[in-house]
Amino acid sequence: MKKLGVIFDNLYLQHDNGMGHPESPQRLLAIHDMLTTTGLINEVTRINPRDATQEEICLVHDPEYFNLIKSTRGRPRIFLDPDTSTSPLSFDAALRAAGGMLSGIDSVVKKEVDIAFALVRPPGHHAEKNRAMGFCLFNNIAVGAAYAINSYGFKRILIVDWDLHHGNGTQNIFYTSPNVLYFSLHQYPYYPGTGGINEVGAKEGTGYNVNVPLPAGMGDKEYIKVFFEILGPIAQQYRPEIVLVSAGFDPYFDDPLGGMQVTPSGFAQMGRFLKELAESVCDGRLVLILEGGYNLEGLWHSTKAVIEELIGKRKTRYEDKDNVTKADAVIEQVKKVQSQFWRF
Ligand SMILES: [Zn+2]
């Protein structure tokens, strides 16, 4: 059995996007409800997150942008983007959401737990260096990766982003860096518009950005095949020192914002894959953070499946690797482009 640290905090419920917004506190309440009603709460280790400091946030964000978000503190709703707004406690929640990632990294690197899963909001992967977008204020996972480089001297960090959407912010922040390899599979073309196959990084970072843009309708078979065919070989060659995961549950088959067909078993298979990958390349160091996912029942069942997989309570069978899938054409195109940098 693995010791899983689960990070949550009531402050995460205080960020409010307004009535009827899909990115609601109910999302975390659904996961909390799952943890208590299943009793899984007693099989994980609760970690209380700290706040990220201004200095840590500004490892990836401009100070002017930090101050803009800070200026919303205590004020009524301020719109930063058509679908992203703040409430009086949003800044505080956002500092602690990024801090949740940092507490997760600390507890895994210091071996207080084997794996950590930060159940935070607001989410982060759309946030750019100097701009809020797509429900995101600070880019939690990017702050985490920069912190791991800065504080622990890591030189190779793998970020796997299985959210339905492309993480434009994370890609852009590390686009010229070989120290962070960003891997994303996502619905495409779709919001936010980025994430094409030919976006492979630039300058020193060329070859360290991998996008797998998938048409709508892909399910468990396709997602896990992308992991086996593309992510696995690249990760084995990159040899990351830690694996960070943007775990969005909006590829769920019944998500109101998405068009994918992933089931709880598919999420569990991705969790299993990443746990085994981390064991084989980086002494098991694995930190996940919640991104999207807007069907409350989907969040309940999918996080249950992933957490059971991570602690070793269940071992979800992989889909047959030889399946012919609807993603095969995209997989071949990605391999063709990425074969400039990696062997398949
Ligand atoms: Zn998303």
HEC string of 208-247 equals: CEEEEEECCCCEHHHHHHHHHHHHHHHHHHHCCCEEEEEE
What pLDDT score does 77 carry? 96
Token look-up 């598919």 returns 266
CB neighbours of 37 closer than 8 A, spacing ≥ 6?
none
Domain boundaries, given as residue ranges, for the chain: 4-338
Classify 164 as helix, strand or coil: coil
Q: Is the peptide bond before 82 cis (omega within 30 degrees of 0)?
A: no
What pLDDT score does 330 carry? 98
Let me know: does 119 contact 290? Beta carbons within 8 Å.
Answer: yes
**Tens-of-pLDDT digits for all 344 residues of the chain?**
899 999 999 999 999 999 999 999 999 999 999 999 999 999 999 999 999 999 999 999 999 999 999 999 999 999 999 999 999 999 999 999 999 999 999 999 999 999 999 999 999 999 999 999 999 999 999 999 999 999 999 999 999 999 999 999 999 999 999 999 999 999 999 999 999 999 999 999 999 999 999 999 999 999 999 999 999 999 999 999 999 999 999 999 999 999 999 999 999 999 999 999 999 999 999 999 999 999 999 999 999 999 999 999 999 999 998 899 999 999 999 999 999 999 99
Q: In angstroms, what is the span from residue 258 Cα to ligand 1's centroid? A: 8
Q: In angstroms, what is the span from residue 1 Cα to ligand 1's centroid? A: 30
Neighbours of 19 (CB within 10 A): 6
Strand order in the sheet with 115-118: 45-47, 4-7, 115-118, 286-290, 242-247, 157-161, 180-187, 209-214
Q: In angstroms, what is the span from residue 163 Cα to ligand 1's centroid? A: 5
Residue by residue, DSSP assigns 233-294 as HHHHHH--SEEEEEE--TTBTT-TT---BB-HHHHHHHHHHHHHHHHHHSTT-EEEEE----
H-helix or E-strand containing 4?
strand 4-7
Q: Which residues pair with 213 in a beta bridge?
A: 186
Token look-up 């100070």 returns 63
* Angle of CA points 59, 64, 67, to nearest 5°: 95
How far is residue 33's CA from residue 167's CA, in Å, rounded to a whole number?
28
What pLDDT score does 5 carry? 98
Q: In angstroms, what is the span from residue 222 Cα to ligand 1's centroid? A: 18
What pLDDT score does 58 carry? 98
How far is residue 161's CA from residue 116's CA, in Å, rounded to a whole number?
16
DSSP state of 133: B
Q: In angstroms, what is the span from residue 295 Cα to ligand 1's centroid? A: 12
Question: Which among 242, 314, 224 is positioned nearest to 278, based on CA atoms?
Answer: 242
Q: What is the sign, positive or negative, of the torsion defined by CA atoms of 129, 131, 136, 138? A: positive
Token look-up 């207080």 returns 112
CATH number assigned to the domain with residue range 4-338, chosen from the 4 options 3.40.800.20, 3.30.930.10, 1.10.357.10, 3.50.50.60:
3.40.800.20
> Which tokens belong to 21?
């917004």
Q: In angstroms, what is the span from residue 57 Cα to ligand 1's centroid? A: 22
Question: Which among 218, 224, 235 is positioned nearest to 183, based on CA atoms?
Answer: 235
How far is residue 290's CA from residue 140's CA, in Å, rounded to a whole number?
10
What pLDDT score does 249 carry? 98
Q: In angstroms, what is the span from residue 22 Cα to ligand 1's centroid? A: 11
What pLDDT score does 322 carry? 87
Catalytic residue IDs: 126
